[in-house]
Structure 1
Amino acid sequence: MPFFPPLADDSGDGVLFRPQASTFAENTDSLFWLITWISIVFFVLVVGAMGWFMWRYRHRPVETFSPDTPSHNLPLELTWTVIPTLLVIVIFGFGFTGYLDQRTPPVDAYEVRVIAKKWNFLFVYPDANFKSSTLYVPVDRPVRLRMVSQDVLHSFWVPAFRAKWDIVPGRDSIVWFTCTEPGEYLYECTEYCGKGHSDMIKEGGVVAVPLEEFEDRLREERLIALESIKEDPLAAGEAIYKDAGCSACHTVTGVNLNCPTWKDLWGTEREFTDGTSTVADDDYIRESILQPDSRVVKGYQNVMPAYRGQLEEIEIMALTAYIRSVSEKGQAELAKYLDDVAGPDDAAAGDAPGGTAPPAAE
């Protein structure tokens, strides 16, 4: 139990804190309130004493002072030294043990890979052959997030789990937690990362599912995602353009940022830094997505990350369809290409994922 009940809004959610939904939450909140109440008590004591001294020794018209004004009081000095020292040791002890616990994930924790980029988070489930901008976690099962950044410094935070950690470019960052309550929770980036920083906040972006339903939920979400691509490849391509971070560098308005615009890209001649050139067709777009460093457009730097292993073939085709749709030459055969994207069911769905969440250890 916290030392002081948090304030609540009309919906009953905490204003000072989100509802506790992980094994870390109660200890974290209790330590916060311990520090808060220590601060309140000493604030009252110090300010109260200061006010009393101001009144007791206020200036009077006729004032007499004792020549024996005290200049040293050993018991008092020991008191205001020993008590704060002991309190600091207690706070450090609680904080350090809690830190060690949060930095030592169990060996059997279920791992999700997190890719942070301007400006979204992508959650990859290697065992399930599934990825999403929504984080799905099993309840009562330790979950380890292995996080990397593709560009700048980010920070991943789930307030209800009291779990937060910076994601530094070029370094694996690990954070773990055990969710205790099914439901939907907010996640956000807490490190200012550029003009789209506010887009990296998602209410309901973390979905906690009962352990026995977790594997089926991942399978269902994956099939829904693939089916939605087949039903409307253009809309899916536009969504991928935004979710995968393409919009951060490539516009569809004809304005060139630090990467070429996609406006009228398809079917045009592209010149590269090595002196070669080619026509921007489907094969070129696919190669640029999977191996962007193989051929860099003249006048630009090699700053695009590779999406190999992040996008499935049908997602690449949907993205290509979207690039065609914003290009005058690409629109000529767009209808036929869309039919190819929405091809046979078995070509899109692939093998259903399995073995996503091993049972909890006995």
Structure 2
Amino acid sequence: MRHDPAPPLQSEAALPGLPFERIDALLRSEAEEHGLMLRSGHGHSTWCQVDGGEFGARVGPEGSVLYVRAHDRDWLFTLQEAMTCHLIGIDPDLAPLLRWSGLPRMGELPPNFSFARVESLSPAGRYFLRLRLRGDNLDRLARDMIHFRLILPPPGDPQPEWPMTGANGQTVWPRGDKALHRPAYTVRAIDAAAGWLETDIFIHDGGRVCDWARNAAPGIRVGLTGPGGGGVPLAPRLLIGGDETAYPALARIIEAQPPETCGDCWLFGDAEDYPLPRHDGIRMIRAPRGEAELAAQLTRQGTTAARIWLATEKSRIAPLRKAIFEHLAIPKQRAHLAAYWIAGDPARQ
């Protein structure tokens, strides 16, 4: 039952052939999997609250009505895209049936997409490159959610194609030879008013973005979508950690903490000179590939951390998931565990 005002912007999609019980089960599963706040309206509606909005469904005249609500247009579109993706994962036949209301007209750029140009690339330690991008409409990326997607055209393509909104309100991405590379990155620093953001690229063999960055001259145009991912955890006591792909996010988290915060930051990567900020209450523990070590310690000793944030390679996050969610039974609202990449994946960044 709702006791607070709903976010002002809303988009809906009617699905007469989808029983409400089915979408209700999906929403409950999403809330459990990701530690979201689930709300229910006397069996006639179910919705999940997230930063900046909510997504859910209600009983329709024939089947279900999906909806997303948000405080601004680009985040409304982002939530709609996420809900569409989950539904199509359950039943691909639903894709052509979805028709979202109140969204851009066919052929327009998606609201959560904008262009930027390379301003500079400089070293950030021996293993990272700091990329500064300059563009308009960066306010959406200056929120608590710290991730975005860098949209790169195919190498050597002088006339790349960019995403457009389709007739059903969903993003249509170029395919085939025109397909765009869309890796996720962390907003390391941003000044939306001045029109720039910075992100740090971990240098590693086989990385498509690494190859692009080595030859990216100032002025090259790229795309940006977002924001996405979780926000910055704030708590009196933290347990955080990750490998090199997570170091920029760890830096954002550490910078955001008040002086009284204390806890541990586990560094699972080999790189030793990434410029992580100092915080008197947060102890740095260098443990290359030490995910299993931390999992064993948690299993033996537990943790007093009020919030947990860990991100690393998919197979190495597995023992941590088992220790935290199964052995210690820590609620998912307290712990964010993410697989930032998969070993052997040629698309890795």
Q: Same fold (TM over 0.5)?
A: no
TM-score, normalising length: structure 1: 0.24
Larger Rg computed on CA atoms: 1
TM-score, normalising length: structure 2: 0.25
In terms of fraction of residues, the more strand-rich structure is: 2
